Amino acid sequence: MYKRKLTASSFVRKSKLIIGLDLVADFSGKDASAMRIERERLEQDTLKVISQTAEHAVAFKINRHLILPLGISEGIPRIVDKIHDEGLTAIVDCKLNDIGNTNKVITKYYFDAGFDAMIVNPLVGMEGGLDSVFETAINRKRGIITLCYMSHPAAKDGYGLTIAPDDKGSKAEPLYMRFARQARLWDVDGVIVGATHPGKIQEIRTALGDGIPILSPGVGAQGGSAKAAIDAGANFVIAARSIIEAPDPSAAAASIAAEIR
């Protein structure tokens, strides 16, 4: 299971840091030739960041910042191969959120590109939504991580909504608590809870128990504290801009890793 890989990597590397590779291309005003050069720069810069920071990480997370400009069948497999060469795993942060057939096709593309785990949105539910994703992940020995409470300020407008009780005897509860209970039911490889909301981390940790890791994004640029997130019950923190935009990404990663060691 993927969560065991994360735990093993954390034990070996004495770290709880996942690094987000949110590097950005600049295509504005460029012709096709200049855009090709920009894609090459973006790929090389990303490979350099991986080399500089891998010793402090337990995994790398790739968002659409890279997927859209580099391509799922071109630059991205080379990025994932580099992560694997460093002895680490790659998480695709696509927040998958569609009907089952579409989800199945998207999942195949990402896993074919080499990704070890995928972040999905539990809002679409299991039957006809995520069932094909979980089936594919199990068959290919890959991981599924579900959203529970995101790191941005407006997370309360969605994840914080209260669900009314139903006629089967369920109690009113926040949507994020329903997502936490679903995560246990589905035996996912982790849940996302923003480091900017340590109180929510504590609450969700109580609901989850110890069997499912909490991954907390929002450290650094978004104002989340790595130490506060870990103290509240997170197993791993995710930092991106505060590392990749630092003058010395290696030192920035080392600093966060040391803070939560």
Catalytic center residues: 95
- Alpha helix segments (H runs only) across the chain: 2-13, 32-53, 64-70, 76-85, 100-112, 131-139, 175-186, 198-208, 226-232, 241-244, 249-259
Contact assessment for residue 189 and residue 200, using Cβ atoms and an 8 Å cutoff: no
**Cα distance between residue 192 and residue 151, in whole Å:** 9
Scanning the structure block, which residue is given the tokens 């735990």?
A: 7
What is the distance, to the nearest Å, from the Cα of residue 152 to the centroid of all Cα atoms in its chain? 14
Contact assessment for residue 17 and residue 50, using Cβ atoms and an 8 Å cutoff: no
What SS3 string covers 32-45?
A: HHHHHHHHHHHHHH
Alpha carbon distances (Å) from 211 to 3, 132, 236: 9, 23, 14
**Length of the chain, in residues:** 261
Scanning the structure block, which residue is given the tokens 């080399």?
A: 51
